[in-house]
Amino acid sequence: MTTRMETRHSKPISTLKMIRKNFTYFKKSFFVNIGFESIYKVLTSFIFLPFITMVLNYFMHLRGMKMMANNQILTFARSIPGILTILILGILSFFFIFIEYAGLIVISQETYFDKKISAKASFFTAMKSIRGIIKIGSIPIIIYVLFIIPFVASSIGLSSSLLPKIEIPAFIMDVVYKTPKWIGLYAIVFFILFYFLIRWIFSLHVVVLEGKDFSSALKRSSQLVKGSFLKIWTTMFLWNLSIFAIVAVVAILVGIGMALLNEVLKGNVKLFVTILSFVTTMGGILVMIATLFISPLTIMLITQLYYRQVKMKDGVEPIPMIITATPSKINWQNLFNRHKKKLIAVSVLGIMIFTWLSYVYFITYEFDANNNLVTVTAHRGDAVNAPDNTMSSLLGAIANKADYSELDVQQTKDGMVVLTHDTNLKNNTGVNKNIWELTFDEVEKLDVGSHFSPKFDGEKIPTLDSIMKAANKKIKLNIEIKLNGHDQKLEERVVKLIEDNNFVDQCVVTSLDYNALQKVK
């Protein structure tokens, strides 16, 4: 909603001035933002998340499933119960995320125009804005809110409490990073999504503040961004750079402080761990509080950009949307304002004391440095100082006194159980063959060490049997079974090797395939 009125800003302000002004705006709306985010997080934690857990468990029960392993996710998603689960959770998640963004947009608008608003009023106004998006034409907004924003918006500091970001599983990214064409494809997809994120960056503002449907909002946002794409991107980049700089300085100072403390308290492990627990607690509280700040701050900056672009493109001075909310019999806002410093101080102090005492209790009464409650696992052996999944990496893990050495096993063409993470051997050996295409005699001739360092020239792919013999009584093993579709009773052979080497009490067996674990059990 726009109209002509007396000009508030004679000309667009610079990017750096806008960023500085952002902190001033946020200071004005600090308690309202905290109140709104607190209400939202309480509703999310105690109503929404338990509800979606109940929905998921119900539909899994219909499929006769008590748990879901990675390889079962796709099967479940293609079933009728799975499709219903995705639809229900997707729609509900969208509405909850939209309410958070809408509420923060309303607060930022009122702050921009030097108006006061309560957390409750912003929440009810956000609820009312939902009416404008309940239509078939609003399907794009679901994609935008549930996929584009979580996947790339963390790069500009915008994220929802419910779905902060979408991360591609690490094992998939491992494959991507090892193949140039996949890196290129990933980069292309990311930048395409990032382009649309910036192009549609004002779409939620248009829906909430101008009352347009989302299809119209996309066009309106594109019009506002046109000709200013680089300037908007630069503003968001510098904003994130400033946030990163603040976080980096704090992290460095804490790191230096803990390093100095470690030197002063050298030998007094229990006191150091107690102090470390306190610092960790404080860090956790600060991170929790920071999550209440980042999105409101980013939304406030986008609101500034939105009104700047509206003025530039429309040639008129915008006025705020009228906020209406049901009055309360008790003026909670005034009550809070009168005692806000005391209430916040008492609440934060209470949380800090409770959390710290919980840590101290655990460390003092539950944690014993001499027991095996905490164990250290060397991932693929000492993979930092030696080629992973080799005899050298195992010996390195033993030398470094790790409790477990994690390793990955697959089979050769003739059924020998050997250590290798990748099915294709090109990255580690230079030979473009899959492990299941070569016999063990052929595998034994390959060099998996020289790619890591000349020091390991001639390092061989070891058998699981030889690894067990070298590890016996020295280190336990975490044996991960990696199925590649060409397995020859791999689970049975692993179990037999464990039994033949009397290794039952010296290992655990893991796998991403639930059926494989059932066979081992």
**Residues tagged active-site:** 379, 421
Q: What amino acid occupies position 201?
A: I
Question: Hey, what are 427's tokens?
Answer: 């990255």
Question: Hey, what are 206's tokens?
Answer: 């248009």
| Packing angle of the helix pair 30-43, 15-28 (nearest 10 deg) | 70
3-state secondary structure 383-425: CCCCCCCCHHHHHHHHHCCCCEEEEEEEECCCCCEEECCCCEC
Any residues with CB less than 8 A from the CB of 187 and at least 6 apart, and which? none
How far is 500 from 193, CA to CA, in rounded Å? Answer: 53
Q: Residues 288-320, buried b or exposed e (16+ Cβ, 10 A)? A: eeeebebbbbbbbbbbbbbbbbbbeeeeebbeb
| Residues 50, 52, 54, 56, CA torsion sign | negative
- Please name which of 501, 495, 467, 469 lies closest in space to residue 481, comparing C-alpha atoms: 495
End-to-end Cα, the chain, rounded Å = 65
How far is 428 from 425, CA to CA, in rounded Å? Answer: 6
CB 1 within 8 A of CB 211: yes
Question: Hey, what are 108's tokens?
Answer: 């930022």
Antiparallel, parallel or unpaired: β 417-419 and 404-411: antiparallel
- CA distances, 507 to each of 403, 468, 511 (Å): 10, 10, 13
CB 300 within 8 A of CB 25: yes
Paired residues of 408 in beta bridges: 480
CA dihedral 398, 404, 408, 409 (to 10 degrees): 90
How far is 392 from 447, CA to CA, in rounded Å? Answer: 13
**DSSP string for residues in 461-478:** PPBHHHHHHHHTTT-EEE
How far is 105 from 320, CA to CA, in rounded Å? Answer: 11
How far is 409 from 421, CA to CA, in rounded Å? Answer: 7
